[in-house]
Structure 1
């Protein structure tokens, strides 16, 4: 796989694009986008309802497993690191050689944080830091945003909160999300992301998780005086 997708043009049907090679054989960009959206939505639903098991290892393999599940029926390289540099607007993402380092740092932060005892502000700060590293890694040629959001939902499971990405609930519009993500990138010639702009975003998206329902008492333990 690595040898086949080793250059920018190798990801496309034709040199210069615009349509990525895909397992559908689809060469129309709009049709591919529609099929990809439908497929990844269905896969995400299965992951979220537990029909597909993603091991909660909170490391690079966790991120890769999510991407492979979401996009495995769309792209041959699903779950594989990109081999080319990518950028978006003003954001220049990690050099391919640095992708594993950013994901390892994200894992280190997850494992070193006391998620279960966090209040909302602490959760927002820690989640923003983890996401900033994953976002800067941007490990894949396509589908990084969807993968990172689902990964952050899994991280949130360790805490008293869940993440609600709906703008109607949080007030975080796609424009606000994209701007905060863009501004979280490292300063020029620096390695560390700057997650401060993401903290209020994650605070707004954090919804307190309802307590798990307590199991009812077994029949043998109930008040026998009622019999």
Structure 2
């Protein structure tokens, strides 16, 4: 079994855990470093957009982040995956579950007009639920954070991820799998700043 619990992963080179990539890099650490660099450059080129926000919007973000490295960037994954004991959404349920969450966001008017405390709770719950869907083979967190930057800015608030430690972030997302959102609420309490001045 590989680290995602899917046996021989078709996204990886045979007999390895290294994702197939446009540069044919077979070393995990080298690939991770390049992925970080390329996605950081790409992230700076992603412009804020107004709603609607939907699965296609998230796919577009993912494609912009990872298209230079992976041929499947922006495509929904085709295998079931799990990580550190967390089983993500069954591949057949990715679209319906994601679309249900985005319909909930739309029905909440994209969280526009919420006071800060309610925004924090709403964002934490939606983030945790969407993370369980985990629509892509890799790069879910980075794509999702950009999506939520857009949601939060559109709602009229500042957002910064600098206040979050990696292990705290991972544990908060693991807790949210069983609908325990408190750790994510605590994280977003620090990340979501003041209202943006009109």
What TM-score do the two structures reach when normalised by structure 1?
0.78
Of 182, 188, 191, 1:202 maps to 188
Per the alignment, residue 219 of structure 1 pairs with none
Instruction: Report the CA distance shift for 1:57/1:8 in structure 2 as closer, same or farther (over 3 A).
Output: farther
Q: Which runs of 5+ in 2 are unaligned?
A: 1-6
Q: Which runs of 5+ in 1 are unaligned?
A: 1-6, 187-192, 213-227
Runs of 4+ in 1 over 3 A off after TM superposition: 53-56, 193-197
Larger radius of gyration: 1
Per the alignment, residue 138 of structure 2 pairs with 142
Q: Contact conserved, 1:54 with 1:62, CA < 8 A, in 2?
A: no
Per the alignment, residue 155 of structure 2 pairs with 159
Shift of 1:163: 1.9
Per the alignment, residue 112 of structure 1 pairs with 107
RMSD over aligned Cα atoms: 2.0
**What is the SS of the residue equivalent to 1:70?**
helix
Instruction: Report the CA distance shift for 1:195/1:101 in structure 2 as closer, same or farther (over 3 A).
Output: farther
What TM-score do the two structures reach when normalised by structure 2?
0.88
Higher relative contact order, structure no. (Cα contacts within 8 Å, ≥ 6 residues apart) = 2
Give the length in aligned residue pairs: 192
Shift of 1:108: 1.6
Per the alignment, residue 126 of structure 2 pairs with 130
